[in-house]
């Protein structure tokens, strides 16, 4: 598969993360790590969970893992309840991909106040929400804005100035959805391409399909749809086919889930971004384990550890 690569401090991140979890640990003293994700109906998070479980199996004597996720991308209340359960179970560390960048801040503060180390992955917590609670939570993950900009730049090569495109955003209260939209907009603005609208597809196939269908009806001359994740890109592809515009409206996505790969190869999807789902949770877990081993206080954790993101296009023949 062809990868167009721009490193995001990849060497530094690899060096740091590669050095984590190298010390001996007794099973009896093994910390308990809770991984709390967003919707496990999303292939991205199932892949994340599989990667975390494989890592724990390979490091069984070093920590125990409790992995949880919600059924619906927007079920913030259910995710808050999961975190409360993890607090009650007295886990040592919480690695969380928050469904809402602001709403999870209060329960995360509760966890920190109980002595639980918290690490943020996938969707960055809102800085103001953390500041309001007077807590610091390190973010371990890629630069979503840059990743989306890279995908948008690839799309722009096949468009011309003045062309019209639409953006299908994820859950609008999440920082990664906002950052990906900004990245798409950065690329379109630089290329002189007109963004006719931004609407939320809630990260989901069906809602992405509905939004795409509406945009295609409202803008018959639309040239492309930029989807904030691959689930919504799948929905956009179906909407384009239903509208009889296959091959006339291009689609890009984000995440590089398995379901998108055949569409990359046959041209239904032009490009996506890979932020290495199987490693996302692992990077967060290793960051937490190192902090626990070093007895690093929450307040002294690094603000951010950047991981890599690449643009993925049609597989080379």
Task: State how far the alpha carbon of 42 is from the alpha carbons of 108, 235, 295, in Å.
Answer: 23, 13, 35
CB 261 within 8 A of CB 233: no
pLDDT tens digits for range 283-304: 999 999 999 999 999 999 999 9
Cα gap 119→108, rounded to integer Å: 10
Cα gap 140→40, rounded to integer Å: 20
pLDDT tens digits for range 167-226: 999 999 999 999 999 999 999 999 999 999 999 999 999 999 999 999 999 999 999 999
Domain ranges of the chain: 9-142+277-306, 144-274
In the chain, the percentage of residues whose pLDDT exceeds 90 is 88
CATH number corresponding to 144-274: 3.40.50.2300
**What per-residue confidence (pLDDT) applies to 37?**
97
pLDDT tens digits for range 5-55: 443 344 334 434 443 444 444 455 899 999 999 999 999 999 999 999 999
Q: Which residue has the higher pLDDT, 244 or 15?
A: 244
Residue 123's SS3 state is coil
Q: What is the DSSP string of 162-219?
A: T-EEEEEES-TTSHHHHHHHHHHHHHHHHHT-EEEEEEE-TT-HHHHHHHHHHHHHH-
Cα gap 169→163, rounded to integer Å: 19
CATH topology assigned to domain 9-142+277-306 = Rossmann fold (3.40.50)
């Amino acid at each position: 598969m062809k990868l167009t690569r721009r490193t995001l401090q990849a060497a530094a991140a690899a060096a740091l993360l590669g050095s984590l979890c190298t010390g001996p640990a007794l099973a009896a003293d093994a910390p308990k790590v809770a991984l709390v994700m967003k919707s496990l109906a999303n292939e991205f998070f199932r892949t994340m969970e599989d990667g975390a479980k494989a890592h724990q199996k390979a490091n069984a004597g070093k920590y125990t893992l409790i992995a949880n996720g919600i059924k619906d991308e927007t079920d913030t209340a259910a995710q808050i309840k999961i975190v409360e359960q993890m607090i009650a179970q007295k886990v040592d560390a919480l690695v969380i991909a928050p469904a809402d960048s602001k709403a999870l801040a209060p329960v995360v503060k509760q966890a920190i106040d109980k002595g639980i180390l918290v690490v943020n992955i996938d969707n960055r917590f809102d800085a103001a929400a953390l500041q309001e609670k007077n807590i610091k939570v390190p973010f371990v993950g890629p630069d979503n804005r840059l990743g989306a900009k890279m995908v948008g730049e690839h799309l722009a090569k096949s468009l011309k100035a003045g062309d019209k495109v639409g953006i299908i955003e994820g859950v609008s209260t999440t920082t990664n959805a906002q950052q990906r939209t900004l990245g798409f907009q950065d690329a379109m603005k630089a290329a002189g391409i007109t963004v006719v609208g931004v609407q939320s597809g809630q990260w989901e196939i069906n809602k992405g399909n509905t939004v795409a269908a509406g945009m295609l009806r409202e803008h018959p001359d639309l040239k492309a749809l930029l989807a904030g994740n691959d689930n919504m890109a799948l929905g956009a592809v179906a909407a384009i086919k239903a509208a009889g515009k296959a091959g006339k409206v291009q689609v890009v996505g984000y995440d590089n889930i398995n379901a998108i790969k055949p569409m990359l190869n046959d041209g239904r999807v032009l490009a996506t971004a890979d932020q290495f789902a199987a490693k996302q949770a692992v990077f967060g877990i290793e960051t937490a384990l190192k902090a626990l081993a070093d007895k690093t206080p929450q307040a002294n954790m690094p603000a951010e550890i950047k991981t890599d993101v690449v643009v993925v296009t049609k597989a080379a023949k």
